[in-house]
Homo-oligomer: A and B are copies of this chain.
Amino acid sequence: MNISIDREILLENLNTIARGLPVRSPMPILTGIKMYATDTDLYMTSSNSDISVEVVINDQSLVIQQPGQTVVPGKVFIDIIRKINSKKINLYLSDDKVLVIKADRGEYKLQIMDPVDYPKIDFVLHENPLVIDADVLKGVIRETVFATATSEKKPILTGVNLKNVGGKLIATATDSFRLSQKVVAIDPEYKDFNITVPNKSFDELLKAIDQYGERVTLYFGTNKLLVSFKNISFQTRLLDGNYPDTSRLIPAEFPIVLKFNKDELVEAVERVSLLSPRDKATDREITYSIIKLSIKKDRIIEISTTNAAVGDAKEELIPTSIDSANPITIGFSSRYLIEALRSFISTEVSLNLSGAIRPFIIRGDRDANLTQLILPVNME
């Protein structure tokens, strides 16, 4: 193998490849990047227990003097290409089993691994993929993935569920104490699917898609999802098991509707939560940073907390609109509310309540088909 290429192109592709590179692995060869130069193209592959990534480079700066393949130590190779500031980079295998990196007056020799030891990665290409806008997919992920469970107690809840219901893609995430749901229209003829994607895979996919705004192609395999865009194939394993039915969690009626300027609400909640009791040792995540929201007289909303160890905090807010039959006090995790509010692009959001211990939901006037639900804690 002997190739030369613009550093900028190589680095951009390596930053994508980094998404699939494990920090360590029971299979040491997976800490390497597989490089395979044909007569015309350069393939690079990385893989860990969740994700496999492949890029195909045929940039016009790429010159392949000699095809070939190798596996290079991933982290140090990427570090070197990042630090180099020459325009061109020359990579070749030398007799003594090293990859030589030449750039201006610098020369780096990396000990390589045998490409025959690199496992074969099957990418689940097939004839009937689903094509959607990259921005739609990015939105779906950003608006739901934060609500997945971090604990492995119910592994299925560490993923985002994607389901096709008659031409609507329903994305759902829940950790049992809150729920995020986004619905987007897709090709009404597309076949049924019901898959759950690990949250970490979606985090890495977001970084890989980055600024790209054109279309992406999704291939649904039996236990894999392949997302294809630009010159990139990004494949993730799926979580085993049936995703719980969450449709009955969302109340049908909301007698109390409060509308707020979103930024004002976020800032007030953030300040009050500085004093909310921290209880990280607890098993129930929801008891973390509990605050209270009350409807007071004169249509003022009070956000407050009491902390026996440090002190009390309260903020008064004037909602932009209020539709309420009765006064109510509701307690919940401030972190859940802040994370939910941050998922909206709307300037104005509504809190829709149906009772002090019934789930409440948040919607935004400019965020169609996005529902954030939070389960209150009993303040009695």
Q: Using known A-B contacts A105-B317, A317-B105, determine if residue A271 contacts B83 with beta carbons closer than 8 Å.
A: yes
Instruction: List B contacts of A185 (CB < 8 A).
Output: none
Query: Shortest beta-carbon distance, A372 to chain B, in Å?
Result: 23
Once the chains bind, are B313 and A271 in contact (CB under 8 Å)?
A: no
- Which of the residues B73, B83, B274, B317 comes within 8 Å of A83, measured between beta carbons? B274
A75-89 residues with Cβ-Cβ distance < 8 A to B are 76, 79-80, 83-85
Once the chains bind, are B314 and A275 in contact (CB under 8 Å)?
A: no
Instruction: List B contacts of A245 (CB < 8 A).
Output: none
Instruction: List B contacts of A109 (CB < 8 A).
Output: 311-313
Query: Shortest beta-carbon distance, A47 to chain B, in Å?
Result: 21
Once the chains bind, are B316 and A105 in contact (CB under 8 Å)?
A: yes
Instruction: List B contacts of A107 (CB < 8 A).
Output: 313-315
Interface presence of A25 (CB below 8 A): no
- Which of the residues B79, B272, B274 comes within 8 Å of A274, measured between beta carbons? B79
Interface presence of A310 (CB below 8 A): yes
Once the chains bind, are A98 and B311 in contact (CB under 8 Å)?
A: yes
| Cα separation A110 to B109 with both chains bound (whole Å) | 61
Once the chains bind, are B311 and A111 in contact (CB under 8 Å)?
A: yes
Bitwise interface map of A from 227 to 247 toward B, beta carbon under 8 Å scored 1, else 0: 000000000000000000000
| Cα separation A275 to B77 with both chains bound (whole Å) | 10
Once the chains bind, are B311 and A106 in contact (CB under 8 Å)?
A: no
Once the chains bind, are B274 and A80 in contact (CB under 8 Å)?
A: yes
Interface presence of A267 (CB below 8 A): yes
Query: Shortest beta-carbon distance, A88 to chain B, in Å?
Result: 16
Instruction: List B contacts of A268 (CB < 8 A).
Output: 106
A267, A271, A314 — which one has the most chain B CB atoms within 10 A of its CB? A271
Interface presence of A204 (CB below 8 A): no
| Cα separation A37 to B274 with both chains bound (whole Å) | 26
Interface presence of A108 (CB below 8 A): yes
- Which of the residues B108, B270, B313 comes within 8 Å of A108, measured between beta carbons? B313
Instruction: List B contacts of A111 (CB < 8 A).
Output: 309-311
A324-376 residues with Cβ-Cβ distance < 8 A to B are none
Once the chains bind, are B76 and A108 in contact (CB under 8 Å)?
A: no
Query: Shortest beta-carbon distance, A314 to chain B, in Å?
Result: 5
Once the chains bind, are A108 and B275 in contact (CB under 8 Å)?
A: yes
Once the chains bind, are A84 and B311 in contact (CB under 8 Å)?
A: no
Residue of B nearest to A267 (CB): B85
Once the chains bind, are A271 and B110 in contact (CB under 8 Å)?
A: no
Q: Using known A-B contacts A111-B310, A310-B111, A311-B109, determine if residue A83 contacts B316 with beta carbons closer than 8 Å.
A: no
A106, A109, A311, A314 — which one has the most chain B CB atoms within 10 A of its CB? A311
Residue contacts A-B, CB under 8 angstroms, 21 given:
A73-B311, A79-B274, A80-B271, A80-B275, A80-B313, A83-B267, A83-B271, A83-B274, A85-B267, A105-B315, A105-B317, A106-B272, A106-B313, A106-B314, A106-B316, A107-B314, A108-B271, A108-B311, A109-B312, A111-B309, A111-B311
